[in-house]
């Protein structure tokens, strides 16, 4: 595949240059206006030509002929040709997938062509770390405005500073003379139960709190057993609430605990019934602290959707899980920046309780970008 960028005075002129240089089969991938250093406005066109297109076309025609042959003869006697056809189709699909990959890469970085080299590099790092296109462009614009763009290191520091400043951190669970009810909400499989156990152990061992774990995840097969086992290994008291009334009774009766942590059922944010069901539990426990657990491997748009849907529970703060599996936290930062939700903790693996830490700007810096 050959890709060529050309500058012309008009789109028509650009097309003619592409046709002359790459031939009639070239495809125009993008066109936009650009300003030259002398102030002249020109058209910048990016075109691509698949060198193998003609060869492939011929081979596909031959293969089509072979298929027609099969219609009139025994499949067995042509089995060798059939194998060839499958191999050729496989190679066509693989070429197509490579072309799509190149196109999608070009699309992802489509603005870098006009940026100074250093900024283009930082833009790519931001995008690869999950920072949205809009936010990444905004960051690049702010770096440019400060005139830092010729110094890569300074530019990168500035990008990190902007990202760090765009999120806030919430206080962790504190020792308190008052009993605290803490609820964990989130989409299915985001890491609610494991995070709850990690935090319960930390509260018990470090803060010397008397902790009760309650499972309100009684509808999922094995939900109660999973948490009961983890609580028992950790030597933490455990109860299960099979409906909202039982949860309310536990909260009313269990006055001797400083902290009651409630694990809720994982909800599909797009199923209103699931959310309504959870609201019943939420109302019955009236939690003091409401964590939304978000996986760092979730896309920005899905995170925005989850945050919007879980607003029902008056979330105070977030726990970001699976940081160890994510390629940067740009998606999380982009979503939290828009929704103005703070972070309390990072979960960085499956080990209980080691892979759990307080969210601070230093920690965030470690995970922020895939540099």
Residues that bind Mg ion (CB under 5 A): 192-193
Residue 249 CA to residue 228 CA, distance in Å, equals 19
Query: In the bound complex, what is the minimum distance in angstroms from residue 347's beta carbon to ligand GTP?
Result: 3
Q: What residue number has its CB nearest to Mg ion?
A: 193
Give the torsion sign (CA, 243, 239, 180, 324): negative
Q: Is 23 in the site for ligand GTP (CB under 6 A)?
A: no
Contact by Cβ (8 Å): 45, 6: yes
332 belongs to the binding site for ligand GTP (CB under 6 A): no
> How is residue 239 written in tokens?
């109860």
CB 241 within 8 A of CB 216: yes
Among 85, 332, 347, 359, binds ligand GTP (CB under 6 A): 347
**Which residue of 186, 328, 330, 353 would you call a contact of ligand GTP, by CB under 6 A?**
186
Candidate list 189, 245, 365, 371; residue touching ligand GTP; CB under 6 A: 189
Residue 353 found at the interface with ligand GTP (CB under 6 A): no
Site for ligand GTP in 238-297 (CB under 6 A): 266
Strand, helix or coil for residue 224: helix
Min dist CB 369 to ligand GTP, Å, is 19
3-state secondary structure of 48: strand
Site size with ligand GTP, rule: CB under 6 A: 19
Give how far Cα 361 sits from Cα of 136, 138, 157, 291, 312, Å: 19, 21, 13, 19, 28
Of the candidates 32, 57, 35, 60, the one whose C-alpha atom is nearest the C-alpha of residue 45 is 32
Closer residue to ligand GTP (CB): 49 or 333 = 333
Minimum CB–partner distance for residue 297 and ligand GTP (Å)? 9
Binding site for ligand GTP (CB under 6 A): 186, 188-194, 217, 266, 321-322, 324-325, 347-350, 355
């Amino acid at each position: 595949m050959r890709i060529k960028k050309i500058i012309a005075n008009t789109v028509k002129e650009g097309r003619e240059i592409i046709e002359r240089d790459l031939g009639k089969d070239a495809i125009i991938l993008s066109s936009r206006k650009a300003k030259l250093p002398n102030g002249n406005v020109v058209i910048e066109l990016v075109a691509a030509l698949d060198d193998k297109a003609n060869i492939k076309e011929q081979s596909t025609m031959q293969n089509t002929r072979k298929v027609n042959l099969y219609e009139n003869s025994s499949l067995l006697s042509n089995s060798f040709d059939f194998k060839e056809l499958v191999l050729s189709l496989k190679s066509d699909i693989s070429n197509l997938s490579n072309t799509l990959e190149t196109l999608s890469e070009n699309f992802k970085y489509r603005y870098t062509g006009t940026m100074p080299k250093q900024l283009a590099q930082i833009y790519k790092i931001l995008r690869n770390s999950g920072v949205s296109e809009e936010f990444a462009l905004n960051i690049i614009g702010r770096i440019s405005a400060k005139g830092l763009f010729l110094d890569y290191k300074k530019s990168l520091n500035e990008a990190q500073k902007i990202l760090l400043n765009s999120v806030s951190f919430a206080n962790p669970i504190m020792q308190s003379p008052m009993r605290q009810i803490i609820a964990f909400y989130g989409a299915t499989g985001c890491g609610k139960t494991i995070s709850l156990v990690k935090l319960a152990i930390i509260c018990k061992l470090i803060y010397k709190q008397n902790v009760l774990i309650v499972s309100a995840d009684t509808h999922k097969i094995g939900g109660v057993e999973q948490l009961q086992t983890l609580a028992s290994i950790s030597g933490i008291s455990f109860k299960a609430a099979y409906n909202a009334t039982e949860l309310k009774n536990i909260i009313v009766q269990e006055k001797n605990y400083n902290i009651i942590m409630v694990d809720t059922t994982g909800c599909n944010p797009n199923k209103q019934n699931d959310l309504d069901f959870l609201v019943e539990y939420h109302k019955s426990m009236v939690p003091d602290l409401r964590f939304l657990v978000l996986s760092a491997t979730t896309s920005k748009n899905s995170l925005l959707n989850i945050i919007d849907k879980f607003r029902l529970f008056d979330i105070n703060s977030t726990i970001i899980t699976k940081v160890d599996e994510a390629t940067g936290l740009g998606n999380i930062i982009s979503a939290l920046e828009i929704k103005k939700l703070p972070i309390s903790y990072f979960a960085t693996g499956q080990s209980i309780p080691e892979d759990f830490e307080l969210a601070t700007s230093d920690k965030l810096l470690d995970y922020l970008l895939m540099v």
